[in-house]
């Protein structure tokens, strides 16, 4: 098929499924068709030539909106492309649209979008996970092979697990954050969804690497990830922190992950015990650090510089207040308040400074574990996709969705979620593999081995073809 007809088909599928799934906030038909026609004729060899990719709506695109799922940025169009987008385009990809998300990437269910919840294509009464739910669903429903999401505490891995696709959070500094709208800058990282690890490897090879526009992007060589995918995994040491398989973990998820551990053993991996003793503090630490940074990052949305401004205000102060009151949703306001509180002078040492110390211990846990193994295996999330509305009145229950993922963001290490089975209700279960800094190639290799030998063997109810 020509690039043009492939992209046209992809756009038709996106439009057709969006009524039910709401995974795209904007489908860029004209832009994508023009781009496809251009690529068809450019005669260049490019690694992602003609590949349709969906991009989360908190990653800046000058050819489309960047709303962050928020009223306060509704219709906002940036003046520049994020570096990751710029590199995708340079590699010949076609960005077909911007995907729905929890407002400012705050959430675990995609119910916090100002533009409506995203539905899980395996069961539309359930959430797809969050905050990158739209990007996960665009891949799970077969509209695109790969998409960009963002991760602060699990927002790629957790929805990948709920939607039955592969999701990678790279090492902090692996992909430039230039043009990724900041939520919590010391944790944020662009992540990638793929139908397979190969899709992720191809996209990662294109977007990773040092960028002069992001001082936290690292000058670490970018391997050709696809070449390392199918190496033999015999002798790889996989660490299992059994102590984390306790309370709160759904029995079916535990069963599937235990089976996956046996499967890895049969594939030649060596299973070793590890302890991550401070992991139990990860949610508490995460919600102090993430909200503290968010309260500061979100101060820039004041009705002057970007997007929405409340009308009829008397004076500057009232304009600020009304813009933020009307522009932000409930969860964002909750986080700004929490973050402001933990940073306030009387509480800074008790909360923020303490959390930073525990963060160091969490990181040390991983470094200690990696003395004994090449990667650590856990469930990605404690449950399968839950019902829409089930946790909206209980923020703490919602926050616990990230119990297995947040520690990798706090430590800056990479993690991947791979489908490892279906529940008796036919819902996907994900296993997570976390590795050393810069070990994305190892994670993709381990994920690829699993996918090839133990494919999910089922498709969502709502999907292409
Ligand atoms: N669910 C977590 C939160 O609500 C993580 C979000 C993310 O990774 N962007 O903050």
Classified as helix, coil or strand, 290 is helix
Q: What is the mean pLDDT of the chain?
A: 97
b/e sequence 333-367, b meaning 16+ C-beta within 10 Å: eebbebbbbbbeeeeeeebbebbeebbeebbebbe
Residue 369 is classified by DSSP as H
Residue 34 is predicted with a pLDDT of 98
- The dihedrals phi and psi of 68, each to the nearest 5 degrees, come to 55, 25
Q: Annotated catalytic residue: which of 56, 98, 119, 236?
A: 56
Q: In the predicted model, is pLDDT for residue 465 greater than 80?
A: no
What number does the ligand 1 atom closest to the CA of 402 have?
Answer: 1
Q: Could you confirm whether 131 is annotated as catalytic?
A: yes
- Calculate how far, in angstroms, residue 262's C-alpha sits from the geometric centre of ligand 1: 31
**In 267-385, which residue ranges form alpha helices assigned H by DSSP?**
282-297, 316-327, 330-343, 354-372
Which element (helix H / strand E) includes 225? helix 225-228
What number does the ligand 1 atom closest to the CA of 154 have?
Answer: 8
Q: Could you confirm whether 155 is annotated as catalytic?
A: yes
Is the omega angle on the peptide bond into residue 131 within 30 degrees of 0, that is, cis?
Answer: yes
Q: Give Cα 453 to chain centroid, integer Å.
A: 25
More confidently predicted of 411 and 248: 411
Which tokens sit at 298? 């979100």
Q: Which of 70, 106, 415 to mutate to test the pocket of ligand 1 (most atoms within 8 A of CB)?
A: 106
Predicted confidence (pLDDT) per residue in 165-187, tens digit: 999 999 999 999 999 999 999 99
- Arithmetic mean of pLDDT, 225-242: 96
CA separation for the pair 372, 368 (Å, rounded): 7
With both helix axes pointing from N to C terminus, report the angle between 330-343 and 282-297 in degrees, rounded to the nearest 10.
Answer: 100
Is the distance from the beta carbon of residue 152 to the nearest atom of ligand 1 less than 6 Å?
Answer: yes
- Arithmetic mean of pLDDT, 124-132: 98
Q: How many CA atoms lie within 13 A of 271 on its CB side?
A: 15
Q: Give Cα 193 to chain centroid, integer Å.
A: 8
- Calculate how far, in angstroms, residue 154's C-alpha sits from the geometric centre of ligand 1: 6
Q: Which of 102, 153, 286 to mutate to test the pocket of ligand 1 (most atoms within 8 A of CB)?
A: 153
Residue 312 is predicted with a pLDDT of 86
Classified as helix, coil or strand, 354 is helix
What number does the ligand 1 atom closest to the CA of 106 have?
Answer: 4
Is the distance from the beta carbon of residue 405 to the nearest atom of ligand 1 less than 6 Å?
Answer: no
Beta-ladder partners of 56: 99
- Arithmetic mean of pLDDT, 215-235: 96
Place of tokens 């929890």: 102
Percent of the residues in the chain that have a pLDDT greater than 90, as a whole number: 95
Place of tokens 């996956």: 260
Q: In the predicted model, is pLDDT for residue 45 greater than 80?
A: yes
Q: In the predicted model, is pLDDT for residue 437 greater than 90?
A: yes
Percent of the residues in the chain that have a pLDDT greater than 70, as a whole number: 100
Residue 397 is predicted with a pLDDT of 86
Beta-ladder partners of 169: 415
Place of tokens 């800058």: 185
What number does the ligand 1 atom closest to the CA of 158 have?
Answer: 1
Is the distance from the beta carbon of residue 105 to the nearest atom of ligand 1 less than 6 Å?
Answer: yes
Q: Annotated catalytic residue: which of 131, 132, 150, 295?
A: 131
Q: Give Cα 401 to chain centroid, integer Å.
A: 14
Residue 277 is predicted with a pLDDT of 96
Q: Domains of the chain, with CATH numbers?
A: 3-243+249-275+367-453 (3.90.1300.10), 279-364 (no CATH)
Q: Is the dihedral of CA 330, 388, 196, 41 positive or negative?
A: negative
Distances (CA, A) of 346 to 286, 291, 341, 353: 20, 17, 9, 12
Classified as helix, coil or strand, 359 is helix
Residue 180 is predicted with a pLDDT of 98
Which tokens sit at 155? 């927002």
Is the distance from the beta carbon of residue 103 to the nearest atom of ligand 1 less than 6 Å?
Answer: no
- Calculate how far, in angstroms, residue 367's C-alpha sits from the geometric centre of ligand 1: 24
- Arithmetic mean of pLDDT, 132-147: 98
User: In the structure, what pLDDT confidence band is assigned to residue 75 with cuts at 50, 70 and 90?
Assistant: confident
Q: In the predicted model, is pLDDT for residue 27 greater than 80?
A: yes
Q: In the predicted model, is pLDDT for residue 102 greater than 90?
A: yes
Predicted confidence (pLDDT) per residue in 320-352, tens digit: 999 999 999 999 999 999 999 999 998 999 999
Q: Is the dihedral of CA 387, 389, 392, 393 positive or negative?
A: negative
What number does the ligand 1 atom closest to the CA of 286 have?
Answer: 10
**Sequence-separated (6 or more) residues with CB below 8 Å from residue 135:** 23, 54, 55, 56, 99, 101, 147, 148, 149, 156, 159, 193
Residue 74 is predicted with a pLDDT of 85
Predicted confidence (pLDDT) per residue in 305-315, tens digit: 898 999 989 99
pTM of the model: 0.98
Which element (helix H / strand E) includes 255? helix 251-266
Is the distance from the beta carbon of residue 151 to the nearest atom of ligand 1 less than 6 Å?
Answer: yes
Q: In the predicted model, is pLDDT for residue 247 greater than 90?
A: no
Which tokens sit at 44? 């260049």
**In 42-174, which residue ranges form alpha helices assigned H by DSSP?**
83-90, 133-140, 157-163
Q: Could you confirm whether 135 is annotated as catalytic?
A: no
Residue 321 is predicted with a pLDDT of 96
- Calculate how far, in angstroms, residue 259's C-alpha sits from the geometric centre of ligand 1: 28
What number does the ligand 1 atom closest to the CA of 331 have?
Answer: 4
Is the distance from the beta carbon of residue 153 to the nearest atom of ligand 1 less than 6 Å?
Answer: yes
Classified as helix, coil or strand, 157 is helix
Residue 417 is predicted with a pLDDT of 98
Distances (CA, A) of 22 to 114, 164, 440: 12, 18, 31
- Arithmetic mean of pLDDT, 74-95: 96
Which element (helix H / strand E) includes 289? helix 282-297
- Report the DSSP pairing between strands 189-194 and 146-151: antiparallel
Predicted confidence (pLDDT) per residue in 355-408, tens digit: 999 999 999 999 999 999 999 999 999 999 999 999 999 888 898 899 999 999
Is the distance from the beta carbon of residue 191 to the nearest atom of ligand 1 less than 6 Å?
Answer: no
Residue 244 is predicted with a pLDDT of 95
Which tokens sit at 412? 């800056």
């Amino acid at each position: 098929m020509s690039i043009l007809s492939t992209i046209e088909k992809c756009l038709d599928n996106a439009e057709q499924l969006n009524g039910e799934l709401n995974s795209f906030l904007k489908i860029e038909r004209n832009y994508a068709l023009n781009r496809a026609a251009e690529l068809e004729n450019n005669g260049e060899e490019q690694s992602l030539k003609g590949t349709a990719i969906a991009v989360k709506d908190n990653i800046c695109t000058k050819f489309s909106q960047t709303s962050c799922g928020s009223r306060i940025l509704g219709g906002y169009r940036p003046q520049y492309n994020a570096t990751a987008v710029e590199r995708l385009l340079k590699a010949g990809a076609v960005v077909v649209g911007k995907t729905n998300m929890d407002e400012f990437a705050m959430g675990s269910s995609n119910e916090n979008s100002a533009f409506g919840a995203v539905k899980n294509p395996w069961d539309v009464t359930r959430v797809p996970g969050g905050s990158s739910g739209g990007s996960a669903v665009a891949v799970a429903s077969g509209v695109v092979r790969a998409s960009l999401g963002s991760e602060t505490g699990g927002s790629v891995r957790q929805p990948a697990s709920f939607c039955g696709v592969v999701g990678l959070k790279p090492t902090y500094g692996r992909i430039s954050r230039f043009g990724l709208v900041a939520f919590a800058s010391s944790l944020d990282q662009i992540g990638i969804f793929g139908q397979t690890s190969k899709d992720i490897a191809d996209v990662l090879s294109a977007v990773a690497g040092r960028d002069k526009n992001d001082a936290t992007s690292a000058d670490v060589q970018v391997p050709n990830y696809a070449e390392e995918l199918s190496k033999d995994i015999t002798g790889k040491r996989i660490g299992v922190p059994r102590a984390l398989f306790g309370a709160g973990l759904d029995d079916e998820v535990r069963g599937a992950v235990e089976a996956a551990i046996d499967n890895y053993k049969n594939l030649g991996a060596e299973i070793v015990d590890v302890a991550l003793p401070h992991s139990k503090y990860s949610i508490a630490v995460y919600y102090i650090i993430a909200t503290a940074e968010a309260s500061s990052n979100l101060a820039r949305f004041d009705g002057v510089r970007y997007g929405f401004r409340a009308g009829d205000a008397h004076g500057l102060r009232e304009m600020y207040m009304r813009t933020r009151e009307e522009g932000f949703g409930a969860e964002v306001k909750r986080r700004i308040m929490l973050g402001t509180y933990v940073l306030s002078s009387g509480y800074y040492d008790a909360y923020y400074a303490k959390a930073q110390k525990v963060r160091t211990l969490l990181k040390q846990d991983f470094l200690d574990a990696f003395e004994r193994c090449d990667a650590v295996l856990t469930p990605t999330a404690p449950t399968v996709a839950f019902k829409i509305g089930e946790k909206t009145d209980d923020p703490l229950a919602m926050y616990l969705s990230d119990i297995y993922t947040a520690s990798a963001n706090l430590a800056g290490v990479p993690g991947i979620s791979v489908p490892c089975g279906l529940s008796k209700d036919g819902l996907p279960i994900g296993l997570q593999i976390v590795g050393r800094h810069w070990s994305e190639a190892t994670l993709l290799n381990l994920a690829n081995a699993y996918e090839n030998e133990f494919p999910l063997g089922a498709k969502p109810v709502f999907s292409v073809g």
